[in-house]
Structure 1
Amino acid sequence: MSFPSSSSSPTTSSSAHAAQVRVLTELDHVRLGKWLQAPSAAADALQDVLDSAELVPSAQVAPDVVTMRSRLRVAESGVSDAREIALVYPDEADAGQGRISVLSPVGTALLGLRAGQQARWCAPDGRAAVLQVEAITFQPEASGELLR
């Protein structure tokens, strides 16, 4: 399973947004805002998520929500093999090691989703891409790491 790292933006249809309310911790919201200094399609897509997300204190985020530095098990639609990845800040990203940047199309699409939901984005070749969030295997907040 490979994830495109170009700056294509996630699918932004209003029906996709209406079906999936994103939940972000207040700390993630502040930290991610600092990564949006340089204008780009990736920054615009992330800004859309930040603008529309429901914000909660770190101590109150549900344990099934994809937060920054969470590890999650995902599977491509129609593929039985799942893969574990981590959602990280751009300077920590290494797709070969499964560390996916929040500024990548797939990273932005995953941010704030819950286990059981699907991340949808447009791949660089124009095709629609989908990943099922099967489980959150580690979430810093659920482990008591509220400032991670």
Structure 2
Amino acid sequence: MNPNIMMSKTDFNRIDQLLERLATSRVPGKEALSDELLRAQIVEPWEVPPTVVTMHSTVRFRLDGDATPLCRTLVYPKDVGQAPDALSVLSPVGSALLGLSEGDRMQWLHPDGREIGVEVLEVVYQPERAGDYHL
């Protein structure tokens, strides 16, 4: 069973709009991200705990089978090319990380059929924690 997730209203609304724009396109990751929205607890941006992965958060995480942690910033697809550590929220690991808290683990089905796990080690930076509610 996957852990509960939390999302700010701002992130939820922007991702929902993104998914609406992509409704008729065949974009990989669209359905997985939509599923995450359905199970999220939605709160005001200033109510998001400082250890939750939100949009524009920089997060250290580990994938099953990898000894070395990765550190990436979760971004919208249009922002992927703007930073070397950017991770699209539409990617399988990006949609899995969204809303998780430090210490959470989650399993998801990779497009190739493998089950993969991810563990959040640390939310290095979170906009809401820094007082940036990107409203």
Shorter-chain-normalised TM-score: which range? 0.7 to 0.9
Q: Is the 8 A contact 1:43 1:103 kept in 2?
A: yes
* Aligned pairs, number: 131
Aligned counterpart for 2:55 among listed residues 65, 68, 75? 68
The unaligned stretches of length 5 or more in structure 1 are 1-14
Give the aligned residue type for 1:54.
Answer: Q
State the 1:132 CA deviation.
Answer: 1.2
* 2:67 aligned partner: 80
* 1:24 aligned partner: 7
State the 1:121 CA deviation.
Answer: 2.2
Tell me the TM-score normalised to structure 1 length.
0.80
* 2:103 aligned partner: 116
- Structure 2 residue 66 is the aligned partner of structure 1 residue 89: no
Structure 2 CA distance for aligned equivalents of residues 65 and 120 of structure 1:
17
* 2:32 aligned partner: 45
Runs of 4+ in 1 over 3 A off after TM superposition: none
Aligned counterpart for 2:19 among listed residues 23, 26, 36? 36
State the 1:98 CA deviation.
Answer: 2.2
Structure 2 CA distance for aligned equivalents of residues 68 and 118 of structure 1:
18
Root-mean-square deviation (CA, aligned residues, Å) is 2.0
